[in-house]
Amino acid sequence: MSKLIINFHREQLPKLKQLISVLGGKTRIEILKRINDGKDWTISKLAKTMDCGVANLSQQVTELEKAGLVLRKTAKSIGTNMKIITPVYKYIEIIFQENDSL
C-alpha cells in the first residue's frame, strides 16, 4: 500500500474536486478508517459494525472505488466468492502551492 500525495497545481483541480467531494462524506471517511486496520472487510460486515444499511454502504464504497481510493477483491471463502474491500492508499496528503491561485 502506498501514499497518495497530490501536489496541487491548477491542472489537477478536477481530481482535487473529486477527492474533496468523496472525502467530505462522514460515512466514507469511517469506511476508510475501518478498512485500514488490515482485516478483511465485506460490505455486510462493515454495514453491521457501522449500523448502516447494506445498500447505502455499498453505494458509499462505490463512490470511494470510483475515486480510486478502495478496491473490491474477490476472496475465495468456503465455497463462495466474497468481495473484500481494501484500501489503495495508507495515507492521503494534499499539498497546496503557496503561489498557485485558483
**Span 77-101, pLDDT tens digits:** 655 677 889 999 888 777 766 555 5
User: How many domains are there within the chain?
Assistant: 1
**Domain assignment present for 50:** yes
**Domain assignment present for 40:** yes
User: What beta strand segments (E) does the chain contain?
Assistant: 2-8, 70-77, 80-87, 89-96
- Grid cell listed for 42: 465485506
Give the model's pLDDT for residue 63: 93
Secondary structure of residue 30 in the 3-state scheme = helix
Give the model's pLDDT for residue 101: 53
- Whole domain around residue 74: which residue ranges? 7-93
**Domain assignment present for 100:** no
Give the model's pLDDT for residue 55: 93
**Domain assignment present for 89:** yes
**Domain assignment present for 2:** no
**Domain assignment present for 66:** yes
pLDDT in tens, the chain (102 residues): 566 766 666 677 777 788 888 888 899 999 999 999 888 899 999 999 999 999 999 999 999 999 989 999 887 765 567 788 999 988 877 776 655 555
Q: What is the CATH number of the domain that holds 55?
A: 1.10.10.10
**Domain assignment present for 99:** no
- The residue among 67, 66, 64, 70 whose CA lies nearest residue 27 is 64
Return the DSSP state at 49.
Answer: H
Which backbone phi and psi does 66 adopt, to 5 degrees? Answer: -60, -35
